Structure 1
């Protein structure tokens, strides 16, 4: 049985170089008298928290503006944040035929305002623009070594790939001047290889060379914070087949119907659930066939490179 980990478990068991807490649904936990703010303050006394982010769907709740519109007012963002985490498509847009469009100015504009920029949504086993010729290394390099800008970090389900891409292939030849030292940030650990937010995924991420381990923070009914990629237990555990299957509820604001939510179960109840496991093989469907991608870690270059 794969255990569900608390935030303290992740910090103490894996001792990551950096720790990122992603407070996903603070507004909903507050409605159930669960304070994420109190947790963050308490956690910072016992573990080192390097980054804290707080997305709330597509709309930032305090301003009622979409994140896309907020990016047009980076000066305002600088008043309450030190950086932004944006989907990679906000930086390199893609057309309807899966080809890259010209890059936006979001990285350059944010850097002018003194904001760090972190790009998310990197995966090796989903379709990405044809410009990269099915090479995920080439995709990462386009964000950190394109001669115009570099993001400050990437959030990846396969942290070994950006680790090797940046360490072995970036800034070679003519473009050998680094514009930044991008951080490698895990997405639920090495969730492309193992089930996310598990000891296996976090151990692999550390082995793969991440700079920062991430923890998407959820909260139990009795106020225990833990790491899980969804507030809906049905998505990541066997809650629907458990004795708690009658605890379903709806959260229209999140588009979730018949979910079983973390704030409706105690920590001991959640610990009794079984995690859904990730298949060993992932399959990438394309117009020309099916490509099986082994998720076993591999190396691009040796230490002497």
Structure 2
């Protein structure tokens, strides 16, 4: 039998780089910043108002996306942003319940029209798009990307990393997995969220070169 990668990461870079604040990121003058608010309730439990914080950020902060798995938070801040950033529903595992609507994320995505009412797109784990069977071989893709795009919703895919279990179809090549989401005849996702940006960037860049796609159209989150 063949064993995939060990589920551990090298300690080489531990303690070398600290955690960046939003102000630190803005100081690097990126073209865009994506802010993820994991759970609004966590901040409220600590007497912090994340919504107020985001609304009072300097106008020159290039906040392009705000994501959260909390639907009530997205609905609340959406009416106050006045289009300053795109709102993205970050979906957790399909059997996890979203606390404000009391439905699992799998159920919520069966009604994409309701998502369209408060968000510009969705961010989902990769298996929502390309599921695998119990033997770790790819199954046919779901219709999620096509269904979302038909309604004008963006689809961003996360849970990528070079050192986690992947389908055997990728032959242990993480770049091949990224290409599966952007280089197939049926659909292309709008963004890739990964713990290893250089690998994803290299895969996307190669895709652009091979298919003579404008680089501006190959920028992924």
Report the equivalent of 2:41.
Answer: 27
Report the equivalent of 1:11.
Answer: 26
Give the whole-Å Cα distance in 1 for the aligned partners of 2:165 and 2:125.
15
Q: Max radius of gyration: which structure?
A: 1
Counterpart selection for 1:158 from 196, 208, 212: 196
Report the equivalent of 1:277.
Answer: none
Counterpart selection for 1:147 from 163, 179, 185: 185
Report the equivalent of 1:191.
Answer: none
- 8 Å CA contact 1:153, 1:182 repeated in 2: no
Q: Is residue 63 from structure 1 mapped to residue 122 from structure 2 by the alignment?
A: no
1:211-233 CA distance string (max 9 Å, x none): xxxxxxxxxxxxxxxxxxxxxxx
| Structure 1, gaps ≥5 residues long | 186-305
Q: Is residue 47 from structure 1 mapped to residue 83 from structure 2 by the alignment?
A: no
- 1:71, distance to aligned residue in structure 2 (A): 0.6
**Could you say what secondary structure the match of 1:50 adopts?**
strand
- 8 Å CA contact 1:144, 1:182 repeated in 2: no
**Could you say what secondary structure the match of 1:94 adopts?**
coil
- 1:182, distance to aligned residue in structure 2 (A): 4.7
Question: Number of matched residues?
Answer: 181
Q: Is residue 184 from structure 1 mapped to residue 220 from structure 2 by the alignment?
A: yes
Give the whole-Å Cα distance in 1 for the aligned partners of 2:120 and 2:23.
24
Q: CA RMSD in A?
A: 2.2
Give TM-score scaled by structure 1 length.
0.55
- 1:46, distance to aligned residue in structure 2 (A): 4.8
- Aligned CA distance change for structure 1 residues 118 and 44 (closer, same or farther; 3 Å): farther
- 1:134, distance to aligned residue in structure 2 (A): 1.0
| Structure 2, gaps ≥5 residues long | 1-14, 71-91
Give the structure with the larger strand fraction.
1
Following superposition, which runs of at least 4 residues in structure 1 exceed 6 angstroms of deviation? none
- 8 Å CA contact 2:30, 2:62 repeated in 1: no
1:214-265 CA distance string (max 9 Å, x none): xxxxxxxxxxxxxxxxxxxxxxxxxxxxxxxxxxxxxxxxxxxxxxxxxxxx
How do 1:132-281 and structure 2 match up within 5 A? 132-169=170-207, 172=210, 181-185=217-221
Give the whole-Å Cα distance in 1 for the aligned partners of 2:111 and 2:195.
30
